[in-house]
Every structure is written in structure tokens, then in C-alpha cells.
Amino acid sequence: MAMNGRRMPRLATGGALVILVAACITGCADADRATVASIAEPLASTPVPTSAEQTNALSDEVVTEAEYRDGFTRYRSCMSERGYEVLVTDEDATVISYSVPGKAHDDGTDRTCYQSEFIGIDQRWQLSHPDDTSTAEVLRHCLDARGIDSADTLDGLVAQLEEADIDLAECLADANPS
């Protein structure tokens, strides 16, 4: 099973923070807090050293497009060196869309490569481009499926959800059927 690299469906790393932020904008329930805790615990359990290149890219607290794309290339190379192919579905998008084999996630390879080469860069990039993230994509789909012409910005999408009294958890469940 391939895992979507925009990080939203996995709720395990980078883009998960964007979703969790969006979820908390609309109000975190106790169940959401438990989910946040269950996600954060494995990430904190075993630190992975950050590469010098990622540290350098983050040193000025601004991630350029070149740094974002270079970080992704290093992440992809790390995965390849360990025998896993990263399947890119849209490398030209503002936020690169890709997937990795489920086995790479299960055996920790994805986590090791992602944290070493890309996590900080990816998080900062996605937070600075919220309208282009998988979170915005899920919310657009959710609104469109309910016949609501979706807004162009993440803030606008969240406002539309609230105005229409649509539960964010429903939208996430629609995007991630089990």
C-alpha cells in the first residue's frame, strides 16, 4: 500500500501539523487531543539527526522554493539508497505530491529519511503556503461534494465549513476512508 507523501493521510509527520492546526482552528475535542498525543509520541521517541543541508536551509527561518525542492530531492535520494522508490505525482506543484510504499513507513525508513532531510523544510514550506496544501485540497473537496463553491484560501475554506456547520472530522473521514 502506498502512502501519500503530502503527509495528510498518514497523519504521522509534516503535513499532519497543518491538518491538526486546521482542526484546532475549528475547536479541538478531547478525541482530537488524544489523536494529537498519539501522533506526537512516536515522533518524539527516537530522534533522527538532521542533515547539515536541512539545518542550513532552516538557519534563516525562511525556506525558499529552491531549498524546498532540494530538501525533497535529498529525501527522495535517501529513500532510493535504502531501496524504496518515491512516486511523484506532481513535482511542479507548490507543495510536491508524492507517495511512498507502506513498507517504507512500517520499517521506519520513511521517517528516518523524512526527518533527516526534509521535515523542517516541508513543515515551514507548507505553513507558508497553506492554500496549496493537502489540507486545503481536502477541505475544497469536502465543500465541493456538498455543493458549496469553495474559497481560494485555507482561511476562507475553514470559514465556509463553520458557516455551513460542516464537521471537520467528517471531511477528514471522507478523505481517509478506512
- How confident is the model over 86-136, as pLDDT tens digits? 999 888 889 998 999 999 999 999 999 999 999 999 999 988 888 888 888
- Does residue 173 sit within a domain? no
Domain tally, the chain: 1
pLDDT for 125: 92
Question: Beta-carbon neighbour count of residue 109 at 10 Å?
Answer: 19
Is residue 79 a part of any domain in this protein?
Answer: yes
What is the structure's pLDDT at 172? Answer: 78
Tell whether 172 is covered by a domain.
no
**Least confidently predicted of 9-18, 25-34, 62-71:** 9-18
Whether 175 is covered by a domain: the verdict is no
Q: Enter the C-alpha cell of residue 163.
A: 458557516
135-161 pLDDT tens trace = 888 899 899 999 999 998 888 988 999
Question: How far apart, in Å, are the Cα atoms of 105 and each of 4, 94, 110, 113, 144?
Answer: 11, 24, 5, 10, 31
Inside any domain, residue 143: no
Residue 169 lies in a domain: no
Please report whether residue 119 resides in a domain: yes
* 67 located within any domain: yes
Q: Whole domain around residue 89: which residue ranges?
A: 2-129
